[in-house]
Amino acid sequence: MSRLGFFLKEALRALRRSAAPSIAAIVTIVVTVLLLGVLVPVLQTTQGKTEEVRDQLLLKVFGGEEATDKEVKGLQGRIERIPHVRKVEFVSKQQGLKILKERLGDDTITQELHRNPLPAAFNVFPDDADNLEAIRNDLEPPNSKGEPEPFSPIIADVEDSREEASKIRAVTGAIKIVLLAITGLLLVASLGLVGNTIRLSIYARRREVEVMSLVGATRWFVRWPFIIEGLVVGLLGAGTAVFILWLGKVTIVDPLSDRFALVAAQNTIDFLPLVAILIASAMAVSALGSGITLRRFLQV
Amino acid sequence: MATRTRARRRARADATPAAAPRQGPPPILELRSATVIYPGGHIGLERASLEVTRGEFTFLVGPTGCGKSTFIKTLIREVEPAEGQVLIAGRDIATLPAKRIPYLRRRVGTVFQDFKLLPNRNVYDNVAYALQVIGASRSEIRSMVPETLRLVGLSTKIHSYPDELSGGEQQRVSVARAFVNHPPLLLADEPTGNLDPVTSIGIMQLLYRINRTGTTVLVATHDREMVDKMRRRVVRLEEGRIISDEAAGMYAQDESTTEFAVRMRAEMGVGAEGHTNGEDH
């Protein structure tokens, strides 16, 4: 117990004395954590929006297999009268087969078919992505059991458009990769900076390390004060960064998210776990950095 | 405590097959044809063999670069010999796992020409540091540090910082730090290299006083005049080789430290009233 006290005292004494390198290390960590704190939710928002888009954008209404083009097309007017529907596009059985052929890029499968198994369909576009659920509800009002059932027996199924979503996902995916690459590079650069700063602070105290090993300190005894110092630096740096993030969240993000749906990142990580992860990793990185850098100085 | 460590030492010596069967305890330090070659081919020590028995006061002399520091460094395994063996208390230290080296160093006090004090700690903390590092309890530290500072004559400077002390006083702090946990062996590498003759006598007197408590003392120095006057065992090194080992029988075995100092001052031509602490720096 007295030993832990000794380590703590030594670490704090070192921090006070070598204030300049310590502050440099803290600033580096603040910058890194800030970047992470901003980029992680941004990345998650991109991801979250992609998922949402997949469910939205447009609905596909499929006629039954036996229903003819004419029967299905007869429903168009009714669908167009549903509130919030901007546009209804009819896709005949023939057009459906053509699209399938194009998509497969291979005629052999479609040639094997004796008849066209594809149903006629509608592409239903909403006036606003937010109203898709309402339209869907009108297309498939709940039946007596509370399960959705198409308003007409001719309709076999109502589906979300996955094709559109995947296109959008491709674009957001590209953005995500770019963001990830930038984050990765920044992280590597910051780790290098932190490591270098720690190395400087240890170099400034190599005499102390020399004396310690001279009077018979074990390696871990030499190491602990440096590791504790690293923990404190990490905690201070991450704490400062988290405070800045919190200020940004309260003053900028929260007011915006009230007004714009896109900013309200439903699928992003909560603030508290994010903070905990950031602080823990900053402390781990700087403590490990201290411990590893010290190895070199312990090879007396 | 003392009996326990002695028993452990004996057990260690018995366990080492390298220790030849002999009467009584093994020598506190022994080199067997030790050769040290530095990277680049420079020879630090060449087939050096030496035995120092417990309680001896031995000088290691020779010109700069003759291997004195290398000799000292091999004893705490800062430098490892390419050939030959280094035995401390009968144990070949090359067989110690790296993890045990700190424990070897706790049994061997070291003093250097440049003192190696921590500038941001006062005298008390510098000495206490050696005890904190080996995990001594607070009460041990509280009793041992003042006692050792009394021994080296710095009781009144407990709260001074190294830069407020003279060279002689700084060296006394360094000696106190090396001796505070009462190691059986004390090594001093040019302890008076930076000090004037009067102050040097004071340091030598201090090392002699420590020797009188039963600690084996090995002093490396190029101060020939001082060594001649001390009349102790003198081992001469030249270009890494031991060229002579005079077991100087000239001195009275039971000379008290005061008698020692008086004689030294007289022989060095320094007034008996002279300061020993080098206050004049």
Give percent above pLDDT 90 in chain A: 0
- The residue with tokens 């000799």 is B71
**Interface touch A216/B106, C-beta < 8 Å:** yes
Nearest to A286 by CA among A243, A237, A215: A237
Residues of A in contact with B99 (CB under 8 A): 218-219
H-helix or E-strand spanning residue A210: helix A206-214
Closest of B163, B170, B216 to residue B192, by C-alpha: B170
- Of A2, A208, A218, which is closest to B118 when you measure between CB atoms? A208
Residue of A80 and B175 predicted with greater confidence? B175
Q: Are B57 and B3 in contact (CB under 8 A)?
A: no
| Interface touch B118/A207, C-beta < 8 Å | yes
Tell me which amino acid residue A227 is. I
Segment A116-162, tens digit of pLDDT: 778 888 888 877 666 777 787 788 888 777 777 777 778 888 876 65
Cβ separation A211–B104 shorter than 8 A: no
Query: What whole-number distance in Å separates Cα of residue B99 and Cα of residue B112?
Result: 24
Which runs of E-coded beta strand occur in B209-256? Answer: 216-221, 233-238, 241-246
Tens-place pLDDT, residues A35-79: 888 877 777 777 666 666 655 567 788 887 777 777 777 888 888
Burial degree of A104 (CB within 10 A; 0-12, 13-18, 19+): exposed
Q: What is the number of other CB atoms lying within 10 angstroms of the CB of residue A6?
A: 18
In chain A, DSSP assigns E strands to 59-63, 85-91, 121-126, 155-160
What is the per-residue pLDDT for B12? 44
Whether B42 shows a pLDDT value over 80: the answer reads yes
Q: Indicate the angle between helix axes B197-212 and B167-179, nearest 10 degrees.
A: 20
Q: Mean pLDDT score of chain B, rounded to an integer? A: 84
**Minimum Cα–Cα distance from A224: chain B residue:** B133
State whether A216 and B102 contact (CB < 8 Å).
yes
- Rounded CA-CA distance B149/B180 in Å is 9
H helices of chain B, in order, are 2-15, 68-75, 101-106, 123-133, 138-151, 167-179, 197-212, 224-230, 257-268
- Is A218's CB within 8 Å of B99's CB? yes
ipTM of model over 0.85: no
Element (H, E) at A155: strand A155-160
- Using CB atoms, pick whichever of B102, B103, B118 lies closest to residue A211: B118
Which candidate in B132, B140, B161, B179 is best for mutational testing of the A interface (most A CBs within 10 A)? B132
Q: In B, what residues contact A, Cβ < 8 A?
A: 76, 78, 99, 102-106, 110, 116-118, 120, 129-130, 132-135, 137-138, 177-178
Average pLDDT over residues A290-294: 73
**Of the candidates B110, B116, B138, which has its C-beta nearest A2's C-beta?**
B138
The answer to whether the CB atoms of A211 and B138 lie below 8 A apart is no
pLDDT digits (tens, 9 = 90+) for A236-270: 888 898 888 888 888 877 777 665 554 444 445 67
Q: How far apart are CA B59 and CA B75, in angstroms?
A: 15
pTM to 2 decimal places? 0.66
Is it the case that residue B30 has pLDDT exceeding 70? yes
Q: List, edge to edge, every strand of the sheet that includes B43-52.
A: B43-52, B29-37, B83-88, B91-92
Query: Using a CB-CB distance cutoff of 8 angstroms, which residues of chain B are in contact with residue A300?
Result: 78
Residue of A nearest to B127 (CA): A215
Q: Give the one of B99, B105, B132 whose C-beta lies nearest to A214's C-beta.
A: B105
pLDDT for res A232: 86
Amino acid letter, residue B166: S
Cα separation of A136 and A160, whole Å?
A: 10
Q: Which of B78, B104, B118 is facing A300, going by the closest CB pair?
A: B78
pLDDT digits (tens, 9 = 90+) for B74-131: 999 989 999 999 999 989 999 999 888 899 999 999 999 889 998 889 999 999 999 9
Does the CA dihedral A25-B132-A218-B70 come out positive or negative? Answer: positive
Contact A216 B118 (CB under 8 A): no
pLDDT of residue A14: 78
Q: What are the two backbone dihedrals, phi and then psi, of residue B6, each rounded to the nearest 5 degrees? A: -65, -45
More confident residue, A289 or B50: B50
List, in sequence order, every residue forming a beta bridge with A88; answer none if it has no partner: A124
Contact A213 B105 (CB under 8 A): yes
Tell me how close the Cα of A257 comes to any Cα of chain B, in angstroms.
54
Chain B contacts of A216, Cβ < 8 Å? 102-106, 130, 133-134
Q: B21: which 2 tokens? A: 């069967």
Contact criterion met (CB < 8 Å) for B116 and A211:
yes
Specify the length of chain B in residues.
Answer: 281
Domain ranges of chain A: 2-53+168-298, 58-160
CB contact under 8 A, B105 and A2: no
Of A210, A214, A216, the CB nearest to B103: A216
Residue with tokens 């105290």: A205
Contact call for A6 and B177, based on CB within 8 A: no
What pLDDT shows up at residue B10? 45
B238: β partners: B241
Tell me what pLDDT residue B178 has: 95
B147-190 per-position pLDDT tens digit: 999 999 999 999 999 999 999 999 999 999 999 999 999 999 99
Instruction: Give B221's strand partners.
Output: B61
pLDDT tens per residue across span A150-198: 777 788 888 766 556 567 667 777 877 887 888 788 777 777 777 777 7
**Are the CB atoms for A291 and A230 separated by under 8 Å?**
yes
With a CB cutoff of 8 Å and minimum separation 6, the contacts of B183 are B106, B107, B108, B109, B215
Q: Which of B102, B110, B138 sits opposite A217 (nearest CB)?
A: B102
Q: What is the model's pLDDT at position B8?
A: 46
The alpha-carbon gap from B116 to the nearest alpha carbon of chain A, in Å, equals 7
- In CATH, the architecture of A58-160 is 2-Layer Sandwich (3.30)
* Contact across the interface for B102 and A3, Cβ inside 8 Å: no
The Cβ of residue A232 has, within 10 Å, a number of other Cβ atoms equal to 20
Q: What is the pLDDT of residues B238-250, one digit of tens each?
A: 888 998 888 764 5
Question: B14: pLDDT confidence band, cut at 50, 70 and 90?
Answer: very low
Contacts of residue B178 in chain A, CB cutoff 8 Å?
215
**By the 8 A CB rule, do B141 and B219 touch?**
no
Question: Which residue of chain B comes nearest to A17, CA vs CA?
Answer: B120
Q: CA torsion angle for A106, A112, A115, A116 (degrees, to 10)?
A: -20
